[in-house]
């Protein structure tokens, strides 16, 4: 029986045959394998966990701010109503003073004193509200910034985090995958942005409430000031003028002011003239 025929081999290399490894390629593969083994033995530091979103604290702060805004709005409304009633009474008093002849001017002192007292009280209230208005800007801005949780927002907006490539990724030239942003963080970021916008709206409401209250006080002061002029009282000019002992009283002497000695620096309480007579002395602070 004859021997089987040997298989026919093509003259060239098979189309799917791998190219022979050169000594340099073998050394590169072995070097990558050593690096991979070394990386496995090196402990990877733990990834810090993102800061927790303290929703309880956020809701508590937002509720407290809303309660404070409601109280301020109620107080402003009550003050405006009381001021309106006082102005109506003052209008009647001014009309009575204007219609009364000069020779029958007995008994007008209490009415004039009421006008002056109303102006002093409104001016004092205006200064206090303006001081409070300036004091709330910093805390409101800080509260809005804390509401945004900037650390968590930055972590989510920084984008995907690359995975550390291993040995087989470098050997076969595969592209390095990246972790996609977790859906939970995206949802948390959207909720944080919404809460931050609500905090901004609440802060603007608080500021606008104070601004409206200040505008109301200034309008009331202007009306009372006109009533005082119609009643025959003239305001004594003080700030920037030289001290006049016949018209003013010194309540404080200020040193190192950089102004000439005896110049009035600040008016503590307004003074008035009634014709040629001093109705009330002005209280001032003067430079030494």
pLDDT at 238: 93
Domain ranges of the chain: 53-96+108-168+178-232, 234-288
DSSP-derived secondary structure letter, 248: E
- Structure-block tokens of residue 14: 């098979």
Q: Among residues 117, 144, 278, which one has the least CA distance to residue 204?
A: 144
Instruction: Tell me the average confidence (pLDDT) per consecutive run of 10 residues in the chain, 288 residues long.
Output: 50 55 84 80 65 67 79 80 79 64 56 87 88 83 70 52 50 48 68 81 85 89 89 91 92 88 92 89 92
Q: Contact at 8 Å (CB) between 50 and 185? A: yes
Alpha helices in the chain (DSSP H): 23-41, 55-99, 109-147, 150-157, 167-171, 183-230
pLDDT at 247: 92
For the four alpha carbons of 146, 147, 148 and 153, in that order, the dihedral sign comes to positive
Q: Among residues 175, 169, 165, 172, which one has the least CA distance to residue 25?
A: 172
pLDDT at 96: 65
pLDDT at 104: 43
Question: Which tens digit of pLDDT belongs to each residue from 16-37?
Answer: 555 667 888 888 888 888 888 7
Question: Which tens digit of pLDDT belongs to each residue from 221-239?
Answer: 999 888 888 888 999 999 9
Q: Contact at 8 Å (CB) between 108 and 97? A: yes
DSSP-derived secondary structure letter, 107: T
pLDDT at 103: 41
Q: Among residues 41, 119, 129, 59, which one has the least CA distance to residue 83?
A: 119
Question: Cα(76)–Cα(209) distance, rounded to whole angstroms?
Answer: 8
pLDDT at 171: 52
pLDDT at 264: 94
Q: Give me the CATH topology for the region 234-288.
A: Nucleotide Exchange Factor Grpe; Chain A, domain 2 (2.30.22)
Q: Is 166 helix (H, G, I), strand (E, B) or coil?
A: coil
């Amino acid at each position: 029986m004859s021997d089987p025929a040997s298989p026919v081999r093509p003259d060239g290399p098979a189309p799917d045959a791998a190219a022979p490894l050169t000594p340099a390629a073998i050394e590169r593969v072995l070097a990558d394998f050593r690096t991979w083994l070394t990386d496995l033995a090196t402990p990877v530091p733990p990834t810090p966990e993102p800061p927790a979103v303290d929703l309880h604290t956020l809701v508590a702060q937002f509720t407290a701010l809303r309660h404070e805004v409601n109280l301020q709005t109620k107080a402003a409304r009550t003050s405006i109503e009381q001021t309106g009633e006082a102005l109506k009474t003052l209008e009647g008093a001014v009309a009575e003073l204007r219609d009364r002849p000069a020779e029958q001017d007995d008994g007008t002192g209490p009415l004039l004193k009421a006008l002056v007292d109303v102006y002093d009280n409104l001016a004092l209230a205006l200064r206090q509200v303006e001081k409070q208005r300036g004091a709330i800007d910093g805390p409101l801005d800080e509260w809005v910034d804390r509401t945004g949780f900037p650390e968590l927002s930055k972590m989510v907006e920084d984008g995907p985090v690359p995975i550390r490539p291993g040995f087989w990724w470098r050997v076969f030239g595969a592209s390095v995958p990246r972790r996609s942003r977790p859906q939970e963080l995206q949802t948390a970021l959207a909720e944080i942005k919404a809460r931050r916008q609500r905090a901004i709206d609440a802060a603007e409401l608080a500021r606008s409430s104070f601004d409206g209250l200040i505008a109301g006080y200034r309008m009331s002061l202007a009306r009372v000031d006109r009533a005082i002029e119609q009643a025959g009282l003239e305001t004594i000019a003080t700030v920037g003028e030289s001290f006049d002992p016949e018209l003013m009283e010194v309540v404080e002497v200020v040193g190192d002011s950089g102004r000439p000695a005896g110049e009035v620096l600040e008016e503590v309480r307004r003074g008035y003239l009634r014709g040629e007579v001093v109705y009330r002395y002005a209280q001032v602070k003067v430079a030494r």
